[in-house]
Structure 1
Amino acid sequence: MAVEIRFTAASVAKVRFAVSPLGETVLALRILLGSAGHAVHQPWVRSARPLLAGERELPLLRALIAGALPSFLFPVPEERLPSMAAELDLLRATEEAFFRREYGAVVRVPDEEVPDSTAVLPRLAAALHRCHELLIAPQWGRMRALLEADVGRRALTLVDGGVHALFAELHQDVAWDGGQLVVHGRRTPQTVCTVDTGGHGLVLLPSVFNWPNVGVDKSPVAAASIRYPAVGVGLLWEPPPQALTGLAPVLGQTRAAVLDALAEPLTTGALAGRLGITASAVSQHLGALRGAGLVSTRRTGRTALHLRTERANHLMGGSAGKG
């Protein structure tokens, strides 16, 4: 199915980016509960699938996620980097009529057999929270760094070349034609679905687990949204460098990961985001690594940039610049 997204002049000015931990959790579950997913994800699938066996809401998750996905599972983030908790609040706030329509279409039951949203959404939100903590949170630092890097790259394209340049390189199935964006389907290309942004704009969400495909919300409540494959997903599940593996038992996993990340200068906040830990925890690890002569810090005003030292580079097998 091809999807045509129609823009007004106002909605073109409202094109923005966001990263969605809820969306990635749902798409990861789709891979684990069904046959979807590219071979690039198999290293993660092999370790993650056994962890899901004890989830008590598996029947509910299978009913809503294993096949076609209801739009209420993908509320459009209100900010660029929302928390999982904020997105689950949006999920729980789904309007009753919208929930009933989407639930009935996915589960394929008549309207009179659709349960009230209050009987489903709290259970669903709790299950998705547990799955996120179990399956996604341990990897979220690396995932978020990859997704944010993609957003930064696309944002520069938008600034330099406008929306035409942005959509031209977004994905091979996406084409910009005047005031209309067309996402070409591969299974039934002769069928066309039209989505009107209605002046609300378009949110572009880079994705790990939708890779290598493009996903479009065909029933947007407000802003339209497109999930596109982030650049670099193929490298995400590669095993850590041998030097990093050898250092982890000595330094600890987190401090070894800090050294790996500091092949380039990073702030404390950037390190925290990349590793998925708090800034205060990063500061403690940096203090220990500085004391050992493995990290240097340069301050400019209120900003501190950290970089691993030559001693650290030697410990990591001379891998300067390869982290």
Structure 2
Amino acid sequence: MAVEIRFTAASVARVRFAVSPLGETVLALRVLLGTGGHAAHRPWVRRARPLLAGERELPVLRALLAGPLPSFLFPVPQERLPSMATELDLLRATEETFFRREYGAVLGVPGEEVPAPAAVLPRLAGALHRCHELLVAPYWARMRAILEADVGRRALTLVDGGVQALFSELHRDIAWDDGQLVVHGRRTPHSAGRHTPHSVRTVDSGGHGLVLLPSVFNWPHVGVDESPVTTASIRYPAVGIGLLWEDRPPSPPTALAPVLGYTRTALLTALAEPLTTAALAVRLGITPSAVSQHLGTLRGAGLVSTQRRGRTALHLRTERADHLLGTSAS
């Protein structure tokens, strides 16, 4: 099964990135319900699965997430970093005809038997909000750090090499061919449609562009919205999720934190080994831009050195920082 996304010149100019807390929550539920996911998420699954047992809408969620995913659960973000509340508002506002078509196809219900959106969407939104708070929100700072770092990396590729360079490194199953984007191979489709293994589905971007969403819980697969209302979208696996469920680094020395601040002290503690900005962001649960600001201050004080290898920057604390940490710990 392949999906072809056709572009016009106008839609190529509208390729953009976004991060979706709602999309990650839906995909997280899919992992917990045993219909997707990868072994990389096992540490999280062990912690999260018991928390799902009391969810009253679990039967509906299980039915909706058991197979191809209905597109109405993945409204395309209208901004780069929407809040969960904003995305749930988009879900509640799903157009009725679109909802009935997707809901009916997923559950195998004839059109006339599909319940009204007003009877389903508020319940779904409430359940997804509760699941986000229980299952995703405790880890969202670290997840967001990974997702934002991935967006930053892809944006540089787009600036340096254009659309062709961006798509050539996005995922092995994605190919750019003369104005047409083709997604091959195994993936997790965001579509209620049913297809034969060798069929090809064409998605016309219609000049609305394409939104690329890095994903933690869809890793390592690609997700394509095969039934876009307007803007087409692709979820691709974010780089760096291997660091996501690692234990946090040791607590920074308490005597030094009041002087440098907790975050800068934690950065110096973590930099006993060379690390990238993205890796530091994940370990500390803050954004890459915040890490960069703190590193700039620490470099200015002679406490951190940075070496560049191509596009990658590796940071390491200096001997002065080793002495400072050693003195505070003694």
Structure 1 residue aligned with 2:82: 82
The structural deviation recorded for 1:275 is: 3.9
CA separation in 1, counterparts of 2:86 and 2:45? Answer: 27
Q: CA RMSD in A?
A: 3.2
State the identity as a percent.
73
CA separation in 2, counterparts of 1:109 and 1:297? Answer: 62
Structure 2 residue aligned with 1:303: none
For 1:241-256, what aligned pairs fall within 5 Å after superposition?
A: 241=249, 243-244=250-251
Structure 1 residue aligned with 2:248: 240
CA separation in 2, counterparts of 1:218 and 1:211? Answer: 19
The structural deviation recorded for 1:258 is: 6.7
Structure 2: unaligned runs, 5 residues or longer: 188-195, 302-315
Structure 2 residue aligned with 1:260: 266
AA aligned to 1:75 is: P
The structural deviation recorded for 1:49 is: 0.3
SS at match of 1:195: strand
AA aligned to 1:25 is: T
On the 8 A contact 2:264/2:298 being kept in 1, the answer is no
For 1:59-208, what aligned pairs fall within 5 Å after superposition?
A: 59-186=59-186, 190-208=198-216
CA separation in 1, counterparts of 2:217 and 2:122? Answer: 24
SS at match of 2:122: helix
On the 8 A contact 1:259/1:312 being kept in 2, the answer is no
SS at match of 1:5: strand
AA aligned to 1:151 is: V
1:237-273: CA deviations, max 9, x gaps?
Answer: 12223x23x879xx9xxx877743565999xxx99x9
SS at match of 1:152: helix
On the 8 A contact 1:142/1:275 being kept in 2, the answer is yes
AA aligned to 1:13 is: A
CA separation in 1, counterparts of 2:264 and 2:30? Answer: 32
SS at match of 1:169: helix
Structure 1 residue aligned with 2:192: none
CA separation in 1, counterparts of 2:104 and 2:52? Answer: 26
On the 8 A contact 1:257/1:275 being kept in 2, the answer is no
For 1:15-26, what aligned pairs fall within 5 Å after superposition?
A: 15-26=15-26
SS at match of 2:170: coil
SS at match of 2:78: coil
CA separation in 1, counterparts of 2:264 and 2:3? Answer: 43
Structure 1: unaligned runs, 5 residues or longer: 280-285, 287-294, 300-306, 318-323
TM-score (norm 1): 0.79
Residues 316, 11 of structure 1: alpha-carbon distance in 2 compared, 3 angstrom cutoff: farther
Structure 2 residue aligned with 1:54: 54
On the 8 A contact 1:247/1:256 being kept in 2, the answer is no
The structural deviation recorded for 1:35 is: 3.5
SS at match of 1:126: helix
Residues 104, 247 of structure 1: alpha-carbon distance in 2 compared, 3 angstrom cutoff: farther
The structural deviation recorded for 1:66 is: 2.8
On the 8 A contact 1:15/1:202 being kept in 2, the answer is yes
Tell me how many residue pairs correspond in the alignment: 284
Structure 1 residue aligned with 2:226: 218
CA separation in 2, counterparts of 1:29 and 1:77? Answer: 19
